[in-house]
Every structure is written in C-alpha cells, then in structure tokens.
Structure 1
Amino acid sequence: MKLDQVRAFIAVVETGSFRSAADAIHKTQPSISAAVKTLEAQYGIQLFDRDSYRPTLTTEGKAFFLQSKKLMSQVQQLESLGHNLAQGTEAPLRLCFSQSCFSNELMTRLKSFQSSYPELSIDITTDHLYGVHENLQKDKSEVAIGPRYGLDDRHAFIELLRLEVVTVVTPELLTTLGHKGNRLKQAQLYSTAHILVNNSAINQSESGHRYLLPTGKRWYVNDYFAKKSLLLNSLGWARMPRYMVEAELASGALVTIDIENFMSHNQLPIFMIKLRHQTLSYQANLFWEAMKENALKLLP
C-alpha cells in the first residue's frame, strides 16, 4: 500500500466520483482507478459498489475509509513536524482558554503535560462565552477549553471537568437590601447591578449569557478581575466560579446568596474543543490525547 493510493481512494469518497477525484488531486482518471483497484487487489476486498451511477462505499470500504482518514491525519502531523524541525524551530501549541477555567484542577493537568513535553512552546489566549469557539473558527488556536457555548456539529469536544458556580455579594451589600438571610426574591435585586463579563465574540449579536433576571440593572466588564473587584467593593452581585472566590468566602468578605427561581448554584461542565474538519498539528494532537487520557481516568 502506498500513500498516493490512499489519497486517491479518499479523494473518490470525498468528491463522489473518479473524475472529480482526479481533478481534486491533479491526477489522471485512469491513475485514480488504478490506485483503487490496486488497493482492492492487495487486500482482496471491494471498496466501492460500482453498480450505481456514482461509486458507493461497501461495508468494507466504509471501514477502510475511516482508517485511511486517520492515517492521512497522522501523516500530515508528521510532515508538519518534519518541516518545523528542518527549519530549526517548532511552532507553538496554540490554546484558547475560557477566562473561567483557570482552576487548580486544570492547571495541574497543564503542568503535567508541560512536564511530559518540556520542549514544547505553548501560546495561550483567553476568551469568554462564544469568543472561545470563534477563536477556533478564525484559526487563532487549535484546541480550546471552555463551557459548551455555541458548540454544534462542527465541533468535537470532550468533558474535562466541572466547575462549581455560586452567586455572591458582600455582607455590606446584602445588608442594604434589607434582608438578613441569604435567600432573596428576584425583585429585591432589580436595583442592584448584575455584574457580567462581556461576550467576546465579534460576530455574536446576543449577549450569550444564560442566567439573567428578566429585568434589572446590568454592568458589563471585560474580565473576571474587574468583575471580582466590583463585587468586593459592593457595587453589585454575580455568579462566580467558586475557586475564584474561595478565599473571600472563607474570610467572610463575600457570602453566597440563593435567588428564588434563578440558577444561583450549579456545576458547569468544561470541555476540550476542536474543529472536526481540522487536522491537528503534532503538538496539538499530543495535548488532545494527553488531556483525553486524563478525562477518561475520571469516568466512573
């Protein structure tokens, strides 16, 4: 079996005909037909049912096609690595993290990966809400980590962990609301700013926020540092990943509240995400497989 034969076979499947395959990979139609027939003869199988107008994969052909795609993906990764090594440089691993995801659990996994591949350079950018998957679409990163905002059939994703999210205010602000306990009605918060991090996606008309009161004051900031600063100065209330406010909850600088008919507390799934059609680089594939292995270890 030769790689050119596999490329020819994949081209026929993806273009729908031998003639279109020839045009797509700049070969003659007879050479495409010969490549496929050679594969069939070598393994004693029939890859296409040629009785129909267009070549249709047989059961054996479908299985062969799936493995062929995996093989060519690995070949592309190896070629990319070879070119980088020949130039004396290796492209950095480009990651995009949601701003909410820098928990100790995820950082421990990242540190473990870095220890296993200390020679790799890593370029990490941050985004929020729909901006995370938009980062992938614009090829600013190869792998993203964040909540399931805006994901669809274009994406492949694996759950890595879950973040506990709580709703918090300062005791001072809670006192001004005229309430002694931590359970509030929605109307009691309408005059108090709900502090939110802006949706960073450029091409997204909606705010992207799922948990909002139907009415009331809202303030938007660009990052969680600003959000937390406003919270600690009693300028509003917000939902926050617990790990970001753990020390303040322990010291009493912030307290949790429970808002009636509102998602005040939940577990937020965090996913590793890539584009289905995109072949990962050698570096990104190493990262994907390492994180995937850690995720599988956590399954019951």
Structure 2
Amino acid sequence: MIGNLSLDQLRVLVTIADTGSFSAAGRKLGRVQSAISQTIATLEAAQGVGLFDRSGHRPLLTDVGRVLVVQARLVLASAGRFEAVAAGTRDGLEPELTLAIDPLVPTAPLIDSLRVLSETFPDLPVSFSTEGLGGALRRLHSGSAALGICLLLPDVPEDIIAYPLLRIAMQPVVAPGHPLANLGRAATRGDLEPHVQLVLSDPVDPGGAAYGLTSARLWRFIDLGRRLDFLLGGLGWCRMPEHLVASPITAGTLVPLQIEDDPTPAGGLIIYAAHRRDHALGPAGRWLLHGLRNRLAIV
C-alpha cells in the first residue's frame, strides 16, 4: 500500500485496459466482476478522478484514465524489479554490479560479454563509471566499484588482483595543418618539445605519475572526447588509442606521426580486468570476469 494506493488496484486497472472489460479482467485475475468493479470504484474515490466512462455499453477509459494506466504500468514494472532484486539477493546474488572503466578502453570488445550478462541476470542493476585516467583504480580502492576494466601503470598494485584482457595500440597524431605533420621523417624530442602536447590526466592528482611526456608545453585533459576535439582543431599533438583515430586518419583529418625512440610499448598498453584482493566478487561479477577472460584474455 502506498498511501491510499495499492499495487493490486493498479494491477486490476492495467488488466482491464489489456483485456477490454471488467468481466474479462475478472476472468483473467480469477475474481468475480463485482470485486473488479469495487476495486476500481475504491481507486477512483481515493484518487478523486474518474478512470472509466460508464455511460455506454462498455466502460471506456477517460483521458486521465489512459494517462494513469501508463503510470500504473511503470509502477508495476518497478515493483517487479524491486521484488526480483530482493529475490536475487536472498539467493546470494549481489544487489548491484558496479563497473569502473578507464576512458582509453574500447567498448566494442566488452559488448558481447555485457549483453550475455544482461540475458543471464536480467534483473541485476549494473552501474558504470568512466572517469579520467586513474578513476577506475581509485573506485576499486574506495570500494565504490567491484570490477575495473583499466590500465594499471606502472605496475599492478599489491592489493589488486588483475587479469590481462587486451592490448590497445597508441598512435601519435596531429591535424594535417600542424607544423609536425610536414616533417617528412620521424620526430625527435627536439622537434616535439616546442609544441603543445595534449595529455590525458588524472583529475584528482594531475601532478601524479605521467608517462610518455615529451613536450615542454602540456595541456591537460580529463575527457578523452574533448582532447580529440582539440587535436582535430590543430591545437597540439598526442598519442591516441588506435581504434579512435583510425577513421580520422583514413579521412585525412588526422595525420600519423612517427617518433624517434618512442617510449610507448610497441605491443600496446595492457587493459586489465581487476578487483581488490580483499573484496571477493559476487556471482554476477565472477560470471562477467570469467566471460571476459574467455573472450578476450591475451597470452
């Protein structure tokens, strides 16, 4: 009961709308028609509105009745999810699965596992966070995420269990109008230093550990998409995940750079699935981790 409103009243209202009559709703719900009529009369009296026009051969939904049927469906669906989450928790399922994903991580390789997760645990609430660099690890440490899909640089922390999933290649790029685009050779440190380097940064600790910094002029970004906008605008150079710049390079809106003695790993950066060593994953988290490792794990 919610005030003067009950889920049973809403269920009766929706059933009448679906079946087309009070008598049909009674048959579907296993009740006599008089009980159905009384339920709707009580609902109308409590809410102070007329839900049905009874002047014709068959009662018809009023304008407000049609609107409230839509609301009733939403409330009943929400109540169903409420009960399903409670039932899952009684059976040992975590009440929610929270995932933290680094901004550099490509979405496409994760989709199949997440789709099957949704099919396997249809009533499990899943929350995602994608923050600046370092955000996923920070959420794991704080306990606000159960599973991270993230970079772990320079090493895997001792309190984290991590499984390598995939590698992402990093491609240095500039806009075609940028001076570095016309070198005609591999760029040296001396070539790069005078130009703005667009750096993806940890929003909480922007002065923390940094990798691959070459230029003397750094513009720091939290949002990967915003950095790409500045890159396309010719306001600097940077290394970008290859999967994000392949199309702009093909279209000619970005130009690949070659860098002499580039410190970026030739095989690409490793993306891990990770969780805290002292926080065991729940059934859905273990299931997702197993699925990701089966689909993606690198040797």
1:19-38 matches, cutoff 5 A: none
Over the residues paired in the alignment, what is the CA RMSD in angstroms?
A: 2.6
Distance 2:113 2:171 in 1: 24
Figure out how many residues of one structure are paired with residues of the other and give that number: 212
1:123-142 matches, cutoff 5 A: 123-142=127-146
Matched with 1:239 is 239
Matched with 2:288 is 287
Q: Indicate if the aligned counterparts of 2:194 and 2:216 stay in contact, CA closer than 8 A.
A: yes
Matched with 2:275 is 274
Q: Indicate if the aligned counterparts of 2:160 and 2:277 stay in contact, CA closer than 8 A.
A: yes
Q: CA deviation at 1:264?
A: 5.6
Residues 1:83 and 1:105: Cα distance change in structure 2 (over 3 Å): closer
Name the % identity. 20
Q: Indicate if the aligned counterparts of 2:168 and 2:271 stay in contact, CA closer than 8 A.
A: yes
**In the alignment, is residue 192 of structure 1 matched against residue 231 of structure 2?**
no
Partner SS, residue 269 of structure 1 = strand
Note the residue ranges of structure 1 that are not aligned, 5 or more in a row: 1-80
Q: Indicate if the aligned counterparts of 1:195 and 1:220 stay in contact, CA closer than 8 A.
A: yes
Q: CA deviation at 1:294?
A: 2.4
Residues 1:188 and 1:225: Cα distance change in structure 2 (over 3 Å): same
- Tell me which structure has the larger Cα radius of gyration: 2
Give the TM-score, by structure 1 length.
Answer: 0.63
Distance 2:181 2:139 in 1: 44
Give the TM-score, by structure 2 length.
Answer: 0.64
1:188-267 matches, cutoff 5 A: 188-200=191-203, 202=204, 204=205, 206-213=207-214, 215-263=215-263, 266=266, 267=268
Distance 1:86 1:154 in 2: 29
Q: CA deviation at 1:98?
A: 0.3
Q: Deviations over 1:80-132 (max 9, x none)?
A: x8775459x97221000000103422333333433443332210001343332
Q: Indicate if the aligned counterparts of 2:162 and 2:274 stay in contact, CA closer than 8 A.
A: yes
Distance 1:194 1:227 in 2: 10
Distance 1:96 1:231 in 2: 26
Matched with 1:122 is 126
Partner SS, residue 118 of structure 2 = helix
Residues 1:232 and 1:107: Cα distance change in structure 2 (over 3 Å): same
Match of 1:157 among 151, 156, 162: 162
Note the residue ranges of structure 2 that are not aligned, 5 or more in a row: 1-84
Q: Indicate if the aligned counterparts of 2:174 and 2:180 stay in contact, CA closer than 8 A.
A: no
